[in-house]
Structure formats: C-alpha cells, structure tokens
C-alpha cells in the first residue's frame, strides 16, 4: 500500500553538495523541500578515511561507488522508434549510487558557479516563490 506524504514545493533528487546547496537556497526562499537519495549512507569522516579511500581496486576497477549495471540501469534508444535497451556499460555516463555526489564519486572535483553569476538566479527564484505564495493583492494564499 502506498504511503501518502504531505505535499512539498520542491523535490531534489540527489543530495550531494549541489543538491544540499540547492536545498538551502530553496528553503531560504521559503519553499518546503524534500531530498531523495538512492543507495547506502556514507559519512565523510569514516567512509573517506585514509588509507581506505585510496583503494584503487575497490573504487577505480570494481566501481564500488557506482550503480551496478547488471542489477539495475537506465535504458537508451538511438531513435524515438527504437526499442529501449538497457545501458550495461559505463562510459562517460557514470551512475553514482549512495550518498556522496561530487564529494565521493568525483573526488571532490566540481564546477563552481561564481557568486555574481548566481545573483540573477536567486532574484528570479525569490520572485517565483513570492508569486506562488501570494495573490495579486500581496496577501498570502494557501497552496
């Protein structure tokens, strides 16, 4: 039987560094947010502890941090009319598994947006949240 949960304004799929920053921005703007993560919980102080974290066989060769493609995967079509077939080989598209994101899966390498580039996004987000939560007279409405 399905479990019915309270409605939220936003759902974040993947709660690594980027998801956490996005979650903070959205909650600061007044939205109710829930984040979803697939796989095992990982904690930096214990799971990324030296020398365990540099196990080349475990991580680079066996791909411990990535989705096991023999068990579950996405599908791919080369054209819209093709039959969807499973994606069974890691290439440049690596599906992470478990809490971690850039911090674990990519060794902390992550593109960072400059603060001045984020300013227009923040203003747009705040305007959108305000317009969803208030009617034309400025009174708060129930969603």
pLDDT digits (tens, 9 = 90+) for 127-138: 777 676 666 665
pLDDT at 87 over 70: yes
Average pLDDT in the 118-133 region?
Answer: 68
pLDDT of residue 69: 82
Q: What is the full DSSP assignment across the chain? A: -PPP----SEEEE--SHHHHHHHHHHHHTT--EEEE--S----HHHHT-TTGGG-HIIIIIS-TTB--TTT---EE-SSTTSPPEE--S-SS---B-STTHHHHHTTT------HHHHHHHHHHHHHHHHHHHB-TTS-B---
Q: Tell if the pTM clears 0.85, that is, is over it.
A: no
pLDDT digits (tens, 9 = 90+) for 13-60: 988 778 889 999 999 999 999 999 887 887 777 877 778 777 888 877
Q: Residues near 135 by Cβ (< 8 Å), separated by ≥ 6?
A: 141
pLDDT at 106 over 60: yes
């Amino acid at each position: 039987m399905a479990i019915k949960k309270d409605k939220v304004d936003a759902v974040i799929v993947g709660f690594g560094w980027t998801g956490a920053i996005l979650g903070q921005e959205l909650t600061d703007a007044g939205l109710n947010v829930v984040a979803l993560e697939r796989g095992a919980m990982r904690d930096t102080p214990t799971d990324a502890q030296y020398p365990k974290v540099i196990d080349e066989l475990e991580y680079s060769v066996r791909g411990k941090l990535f989705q096991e493609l023999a068990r579950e995967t996405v599908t791919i079509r080369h054209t819209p009319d093709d039959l969807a077939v499973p994606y069974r080989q890691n290439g440049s598209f690596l599906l992470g598994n478990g809490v971690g994101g850039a911090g674990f899966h990519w060794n902390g390498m992550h593109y960072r947006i400059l603060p001045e580039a984020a300013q227009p996004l923040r203003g747009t987000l705040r305007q959108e949240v305000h317009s969803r939560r208030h009617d034309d007279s400025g009174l708060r409405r129930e969603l």
